[in-house]
A = this chain, B = another copy of it.
Amino acid sequence: MTTLYHQPLDTASRCVRLTLSEYGISTHLEVEKLWERRRAFLLLNPAASVPVLKTDDDLVLVGAGPISAYLSESREDRGAPLMPVDLAARAEVRRLMDWALVLMEHDVTGVLTHEKALKRSIPADHGGGAPDTAAMRISRDNLTWHLDYLDHLLSTRDWLAGERISLADLAFAAAVSSLDYLGEIAWAERSACKLWYARVKSRPSFTPLLEERVSGVIPPAHYDDPDF
| A residues with CB within 8 A of B | 46-47, 49, 59, 61-63, 65-67, 69-70, 73-74, 87-88, 90-91, 94-95, 98-99, 102-103, 106, 149
Contacts and interface: CB of A to CB of B under 8 A. Distances in A.
B99 A47 contact: yes
A73 B87 contact: yes
Q: Taking the full assembly, how many copies of this chain does it contain?
A: 2
A56 B89 CA distance: 17
Q: Report whether over half of chain A's contact residues are helix, strand or loop; otherwise say mixed.
A: helix
Contact of A63 (B46, B62, B90, B95): B95
Contacts of A95: 61-63, 66
Which 4 A-B residue pairings sit nearest by Cβ, starting from the closest? A66-B94, A62-B95, A66-B91, A70-B91
Contacts of A103: 47, 49
Q: A46, A73, A149 — which one has the most chain B CB atoms within 10 A of its CB?
A: A46
